[in-house]
Amino acid sequence: MSKGTLLYSQSGGVTAVINATASAVIETARQHRVKVLAARNGIVGALREDLIDTSREPIAAIRALAHTPGGAFGTCRYKLKSLDVDRAKYERLIEVFKAHDVRYFLYNGGNDSADTAHKVSQLAEEFGYELHCIGVPKTVDNDLAVTDTCPGFGSAAKYTAVSLLEASFDVEAMAETSTKVFVYEVMGRHAGWLAAAAGLAGTGNNDAPHLILFPERPFEQAAFLERVADTVSKVGYCVVVVSEGLRLPDGSFVAAAGGKDSFGHSQLGGVGPHIAALVKDELGLKVHWTVPDYLQRSARHLASATDLEQAQAVGRAAVEYALEGRNAVMPVIVRTRDEPYRWKIEPAPLSKIANAEKTMPKGFIRRDGYGITAACRRYLAPLIQGEVPPPYGRDGLPKYVRLQNVPVKRKLPDFQT
Amino acid sequence: MSKGTLLYSQSGGVTAVINATASAVIETARQHRVKVLAARNGIVGALREDLIDTSREPIAAIRALAHTPGGAFGTCRYKLKSLDVDRAKYERLIEVFKAHDVRYFLYNGGNDSADTAHKVSQLAEEFGYELHCIGVPKTVDNDLAVTDTCPGFGSAAKYTAVSLLEASFDVEAMAETSTKVFVYEVMGRHAGWLAAAAGLAGTGNNDAPHLILFPERPFEQAAFLERVADTVSKVGYCVVVVSEGLRLPDGSFVAAAGGKDSFGHSQLGGVGPHIAALVKDELGLKVHWTVPDYLQRSARHLASATDLEQAQAVGRAAVEYALEGRNAVMPVIVRTRDEPYRWKIEPAPLSKIANAEKTMPKGFIRRDGYGITAACRRYLAPLIQGEVPPPYGRDGLPKYVRLQNVPVKRKLPDFQT
């Protein structure tokens, strides 16, 4: 087939290593002498014909992307609906692709993105436009189907386990006369993968975290408080991990309970401060809490070597698959062995991944609901292994790169997104 | 003079490097063949005669303390009042010291601890008991008088600048269709040192952080909101740093405004979520916020090399001063040059440090109140330089050490703290 242009686009929340995937995509395509454009701010840029010419970036900058967090070309939260409802948008995408001879479309995101890439491939086929759509996995939530894990998750997991370990040393030192309970809120609206990762910080019976509140288990307030009180009296302090997606027995989010403060402003209470307040009010114990929020998914300084390697591997494979003429597939990670950890990359059909959601297997949560099992530990352990710190400057800060992001000249009329 | 025993005690909030000071104290004392006891949970342990025999720890464990966060012997929030009010407690301390032939008392803490060490030295003199009291500086708040900086601060500052930088890459990538304003809460109840450190993350006009809210400047809501809106329209997004000690023009803490949530529980709203709610309510912008809390002072994985070196230097100097026969002094850091950064350790009288508080010089806050000046940058820059990551295990976690903390046999009757 004739070589055309490759369009790469990032989607959804960024990770510590999504730029490493971008770096691998661009470098691999350059080796094949395929031109790479990037959509500015994700699919929104593709719709607006707001494209970036990556060939204007020196190779050193492309390589530095491998140690830079964030999303180098911008990303978006923008979901295309069904082909019926959003047909005009899908058609616009094909128009933009035609205008720039885009023959390879690499969409780097989660399950929504897999769905979009799948639909675009269907429409291209309907229109008889030769296009190779490849989904590229990414998400700190680790909730993509088929793949054993998702690039981005391992680094967020490592950040969570290390931060939890460090904070627990702090709490332990202070507990006699100060903070007795520490609450650590992790991301994960629907699945408790990051909450589980915090569990890697402790191995002994008295090690933190002492209690993990998973979104998969309804929050039973009385039982939880009893466990906190027991832990404090036995260990001297209690470290609690809570997933932002924790739900009440009626299915509603605990975090949605925020009221108004004394100024009449909304309380953007995460679930972390809520659980902390509960412990303080009901048990009268001194509490502290943390909500790392974006810090947990952008902490490139603490990335996992396994995660980085996989983020780059899926980027390279995505380009190879596209150039081999594959379509509507995603390079997924297949685990072949737990210890020593072995894995490989294989193509999987987007149809199996689109809109599916992988939650924690039941066997990964301890029977009492407050911790992880040995099986879970076996699964998670290799994902946080290895350190790959970024280079640091003389100023003591990581040397992260910002691309020039030179725009490609537009050829089409404006389009309202 | 006859060699007696050295008692080392940690006090107040811990830091990423206070154990590095402990490590240096113990190793230096061992070189001089001086026995080192440690008070369990700070001065509380000294009062209770709950002492730890550090000679039971292998040298490898003592050295590993240099890369371990937290407080290895436990610390406390426990302030001794004046000699008049708390005379019984001061006398008890001397009694415990006598019982264990303690001739050197090293108290590792902030201004309260300097005050306590000073008072203990006065009482010992009154009683004719030969005792050498040395204060050893430590605090992430950087608010100790006389010393140029405080061990612990540089690492918290580095954590803050790096985390802010990383999160700003995240926000920048998402801003087009998602989060426009990100609020980052830092510690610092009375002084804006850590808030200022966040300013190191950006150098250009459009770089994050765009607005810093210092505890030294009263919070003017309308003016602040206008700046946020301006920044979002000019830069596309706005990163705000807010100190936990931010105050309203009437002097009250902004953070104290937490109300009740819809369950009737206290809102432990930090000031971060409060500012975020304000932006959301008043400007209708999508916001995210983070409260790193203990993570910022326990992140040994991201410690500053400068800070670590100084933490060890004050530990060594404290022992040398004690053995040289000095009393009621603290080894302080004296800066001799900004660039290249040069410093030395000198003894300073505890009387000059006790209960004093160093706030940010006026010339360190930009005239508009929302950023740092070049002078501030010159002061802060060297403090976050250099990386000294801990060793990591095959499990992907730092190899932090837990001591055995073998107790010393008690010789005195119980004492009620």
User: CA–CA distance from B209 to each of A28, B109, B166, B271, B285 (Å)?
Assistant: 35, 31, 11, 17, 17
Using the Cβ of A178 and the Cβ atoms of chain B, whether some distance falls under 8 Å is answered with yes
Q: Identify whether residues B176 and B145 lie together within a single domain.
A: no
Interface test with A, best of B177, B239, B242 (most A CBs within 10 A): B177
Kindly state whether residue A381 falls inside one of the protein's structural domains.
Answer: no
Distance in angstroms (rounded) separating the CA atoms of residues A387 and A71: 21
pLDDT digits (tens, 9 = 90+) for B5-53: 999 999 999 999 999 999 999 999 999 999 999 999 999 999 999 999 9
pLDDT digits (tens, 9 = 90+) for A175-209: 999 999 999 999 998 899 999 999 999 999 899 99
Chain B contact set for A221 (CB, 8 A): none
Q: Is A136 annotated as a binding residue?
A: no
Q: What is the pLDDT of residue B43?
A: 94
Out of B162, B173, B387, the one facing A70 most closely (by C-beta) is B173
Out of B162, B170, B386, the one facing A14 most closely (by C-beta) is B170
Kindly state whether residue B387 falls inside one of the protein's structural domains.
Answer: no
pLDDT digits (tens, 9 = 90+) for B140-158: 999 999 999 999 999 999 9
Q: Identify whether residues B282 and B223 lie together within a single domain.
A: yes
Q: Identify whether residues A333 and A262 lie together within a single domain.
A: no
Q: Identify whether residues B107 and B224 lie together within a single domain.
A: no
The CA-based angle A403-B296-B303, given to 5 degrees, is 75
Distance in angstroms (rounded) separating the CA atoms of residues A315 and A110: 14
- Report the pLDDT averaged over residues B266-285: 86
Q: Do A290 and B295 touch (CB under 8 A)?
A: yes
Q: Identify whether residues B97 and B162 lie together within a single domain.
A: no
Nearest CA in chain A to B378: A395
Interface test with B, best of A169, A242, A274, A384 (most B CBs within 10 A): A169
Using the Cβ of B390 and the Cβ atoms of chain A, whether some distance falls under 8 Å is answered with no
Distance in angstroms (rounded) separating the CA atoms of residues A278 and A149: 34
| Min Cα separation A383/chain B (Å) | 9
Q: What is the pLDDT of residue B257?
A: 58
Other CB atoms within 10 Å distance of the CB of residue B55: 14
pLDDT digits (tens, 9 = 90+) for B215-247: 999 999 999 999 999 999 999 999 999 999 999
Q: Identify whether residues B30 and B116 lie together within a single domain.
A: yes
Q: What is the pLDDT of residue A257?
A: 58
Using the Cβ of B5 and the Cβ atoms of chain A, whether some distance falls under 8 Å is answered with no
Interface test with B, best of A254, A293, A309, A378 (most B CBs within 10 A): A293
Q: Identify whether residues A304 and A292 lie together within a single domain.
A: no
Out of A42, A72, A268, the one facing B273 most closely (by C-beta) is A268
Candidates B186, B241, B270; CA nearest to B371 is B241
Chain B contact set for A267 (CB, 8 A): 258-259, 261, 267, 269, 273, 277
Active site residues of B: 141
Average pLDDT, chain B: 95
The pLDDT confidence band at residue B262, using thresholds 50, 70 and 90, is: low
Residues in B 45-64 with any Cβ partner in A closer than 8 A: none
Q: What is the pLDDT of residue A1?
A: 46
**Token digits of residue A376:** 């879970």
Out of B278, B304, B400, the one facing A165 most closely (by C-beta) is B400
Q: Is the pLDDT of residue B79 over 90?
A: no
Q: Is A199 annotated as a binding residue?
A: no
Q: Of B260, B277, B297, which closes a domain?
A: B297
Q: Do B70 and A172 touch (CB under 8 A)?
A: yes
Chain B contact set for A239 (CB, 8 A): none
AA identity, residue A301: H
Kindly state whether residue B372 falls inside one of the protein's structural domains.
Answer: no
**Token digits of residue B89:** 């407690």
Kindly state whether residue B407 falls inside one of the protein's structural domains.
Answer: no
Out of B10, B166, B293, the one facing A299 most closely (by C-beta) is B166
Candidates A106, A196, A189; CA nearest to A357 is A189
Q: Identify whether residues A159 and A273 lie together within a single domain.
A: yes
Q: Identify whether residues B12 and B144 lie together within a single domain.
A: yes
Q: Is the ipTM of this complex over 0.90?
A: yes
Q: Identify whether residues B145 and B159 lie together within a single domain.
A: no
Q: What is the pLDDT of residue B189?
A: 84
Q: Of A279, A296, A313, which closes a domain?
A: A296
CATH code where residue B83 lies = 3.40.50.450
Q: Which residues contact A72 (CB under 8 A, 6 or more apart)?
A: A10, A19, A22, A38, A65, A401, A402, A403, A405, B173
Give the pairing type, strands A342-349 and A329-337.
antiparallel
Nearest CA in chain A to B262: A259
Kindly state whether residue A372 falls inside one of the protein's structural domains.
Answer: no
Chain A contact set for B277 (CB, 8 A): 261, 265-268
Chain A contact set for B287 (CB, 8 A): 268
Binding positions of B for substrate are 139-141, 187-189, 244, 294-297
Q: Identify whether residues B230 and B101 lie together within a single domain.
A: no
- Classify B179 as helix, strand or coil: coil
Q: What is the pLDDT of residue B220?
A: 97
Active-site annotation holder among A50, A112, A115, A141: A141
Residues in B 146-165 with any Cβ partner in A closer than 8 A: 158, 161-163, 165
Nearest CA in chain B to A157: B396
Q: Do B174 and A75 touch (CB under 8 A)?
A: yes
CATH code where residue B192 lies = 3.40.50.460
Q: Identify whether residues A125 and A167 lie together within a single domain.
A: no
CB B195 within 8 A of CB B188: yes
Q: What is the pLDDT of residue B77?
A: 87
Using the Cβ of A113 and the Cβ atoms of chain B, whether some distance falls under 8 Å is answered with no
Q: What percent of chain B has pLDDT over 90?
A: 89
Kindly state whether residue B329 falls inside one of the protein's structural domains.
Answer: yes
| Min Cα separation A270/chain B (Å) | 9
Q: What is the pLDDT of residue B1?
A: 46
Binding positions of B are 13, 111, 139-141, 187-189, 244, 294-297
Q: Of B326, B357, B388, which closes a domain?
A: B357
Number of domains in chain B: 2
Binding positions of B for diphosphate are 13
Give the pairing type, strands A287-290 and A181-186.
parallel
Nearest CA in chain B to A389: B389
Kindly state whether residue B395 falls inside one of the protein's structural domains.
Answer: no
Q: Do B68 and A299 touch (CB under 8 A)?
A: no
Q: Do A14 and B174 touch (CB under 8 A)?
A: yes
pLDDT < 70 positions in chain A: 1-2, 256-269
Chain B contact set for A177 (CB, 8 A): 41-42, 44, 76-78
Kindly state whether residue B211 falls inside one of the protein's structural domains.
Answer: yes
CB A130 within 8 A of CB A179: no
Q: Which domain, by its residues, includes B141?
A: 5-152+300-357
Chain A contact set for B267 (CB, 8 A): 258-259, 261, 267, 269, 273, 277
Q: Which residues contact A69 (CB under 8 A, 6 or more apart)?
A: A14, A15, A16, A17, A19, A298, A299, A300, A400, B166, B169, B170
**Token digits of residue B334:** 């004296």
